[in-house]
């Protein structure tokens, strides 16, 4: 039996039809209960606290717990916001989820430095109708998440997440000439445009009378011209 820092204390005993034993962890000094069967088959080899060592990141434990909770609420068909609505967790397994979240957190949320800070955040789906899947998860502060019901959609503007229902008023305030209606702004936001991009599209539309730029054509003309020059030069060298 390979045990990472576990020392048994006391005798085996039966509980809920399984044989258990208590063991103390040399790393965190905590005494916990272990299922004998899991120890014999190698399913458990160490204390919870050693889980994060696999990832070499203190955030691993938090994300692991979150994964368990997500699995739980997606499995529960009585939960009308998750399982009952058909929301699923499409991450391959716990480890894939933990590794993805650590990378996402370290890369996109540099403000979260300690485990305590991380615990103030929830894992949320960017598209509230989508599943828990790579690309559709993000971290939101707990207070922000509580107001993020199924009906509220958030759009990035001025470095903040703004409720979709407020976006048009904010944009109209910053650019009174914005040529879009409230419904059109909502539609653009739903397509994934940020507040800044919607503003830019408004001014672009006005300047060019709603027509697209013709720059790509000029680029290809320039490439053809360069190509001709090169051929001429190569002929001269040969
Ligand atoms: Zn431990």
Q: What would the pLDDT profile of 32-82 be if each residue is shown by its tens digit?
A: 999 999 999 888 888 988 877 778 888 998 999 999 999 999 999 999 999
Q: What is the pLDDT of residue 150?
A: 52
Q: What angle do CA 23, 29, 32 make, to 5 degrees?
A: 35
Nearest to 97 by CA among 58, 75, 71, 130: 71
196: CA distance to ligand 1 center in Å? 48
75: CA distance to ligand 1 center in Å? 29
Whether the pTM exceeds 0.85: the reply is no
59: CA distance to ligand 1 center in Å? 16
Q: What is the pLDDT of residue 212?
A: 52
Which whole-number Å values give the CA distances from 135 to 129, 144, 146, in the listed order? 13, 20, 21
Cα–Cα distance for residue pair 125/173, rounded to 1 Å: 29
DSSP 84: G
Burial (0-12, 13-18, 19+ Cβ within 10 Å), 132 = buried
Q: Are 132 and 87 in contact (CB under 8 A)?
A: yes
140: CA distance to ligand 1 center in Å? 29
For the ranges 35-49, 82-96, 142-156, 190-204, the lowest mean pLDDT is seen at: 142-156
Ramachandran sector of residue 223 (left: φ over 0; alpha: ψ -120 to 50; beta: rest) = alpha
29: CA distance to ligand 1 center in Å? 6
Q: Give pLDDT tens digits for 191-236.
A: 888 899 998 988 887 665 545 555 666 777 788 888 888 888 877 7
57: CA distance to ligand 1 center in Å? 15
205: CA distance to ligand 1 center in Å? 61
For tokens 């103390």, name the residue: 24
22: CA distance to ligand 1 center in Å? 13
110: CA distance to ligand 1 center in Å? 28
Q: What is the pLDDT of residue 59?
A: 93
**Most confident region among 47-56, 85-94, 184-193 by mean pLDDT:** 85-94
For the ranges 149-158, 174-183, 218-227, the lowest mean pLDDT is seen at: 149-158
45: CA distance to ligand 1 center in Å? 11
Q: What is the pLDDT of residue 238?
A: 61
**Residue 44 C-beta-side C-alpha neighbours within 13 Å:** 19
Cα–Cα distance for residue pair 228/54, rounded to 1 Å: 58
50: CA distance to ligand 1 center in Å? 6
220: CA distance to ligand 1 center in Å? 64
For tokens 């989508």, name the residue: 130
Per residue in 154-174, is it b (16+ CB within 10 Å) or e — as a string? bbbbeeeebeeeebbebbeee
């Amino acid at each position: 039996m390979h045990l990472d820092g576990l020392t048994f204390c006391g005798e085996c005993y039966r509980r809920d039809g399984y044989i258990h034993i208590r063991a103390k962890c040399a790393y965190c000094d905590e005494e916990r209960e272990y299922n004998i069967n899991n120890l014999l088959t190698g399913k458990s080899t160490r204390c919870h606290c050693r889980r994060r060592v696999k990832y070499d990141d203190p955030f691993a434990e938090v994300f692991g717990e979150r994964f368990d909770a997500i699995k739980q609420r997606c499995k529960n068909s009585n939960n009308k916001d998750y399982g009952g609505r058909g929301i699923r967790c499409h991450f391959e397994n716990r480890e894939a989820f933990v590794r993805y979240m650590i990378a996402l957190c370290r890369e996109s949320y540099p403000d979260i430095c300690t485990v305590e800070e991380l615990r103030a955040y929830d894992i949320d789906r960017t598209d509230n109708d989508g599943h828990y899947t790579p690309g559709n998860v993000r971290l939101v502060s707990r207070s922000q998440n509580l107001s993020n019901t199924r009906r509220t959609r958030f759009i990035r503007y001025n470095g903040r997440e703004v409720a979709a229902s407020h976006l048009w008023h904010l944009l109209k305030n910053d650019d009174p000439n914005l040529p879009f209606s409230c419904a059109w702004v909502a539609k653009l936001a739903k397509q994934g445009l940020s507040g800044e991009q919607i503003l830019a599209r408004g001014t672009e539309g006005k300047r060019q009378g709603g027509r697209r730029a013709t720059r790509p054509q000029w680029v290809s003309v320039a490439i053809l011209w360069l190509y001709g020059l090169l051929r001429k030069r190569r002929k001269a060298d040969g």
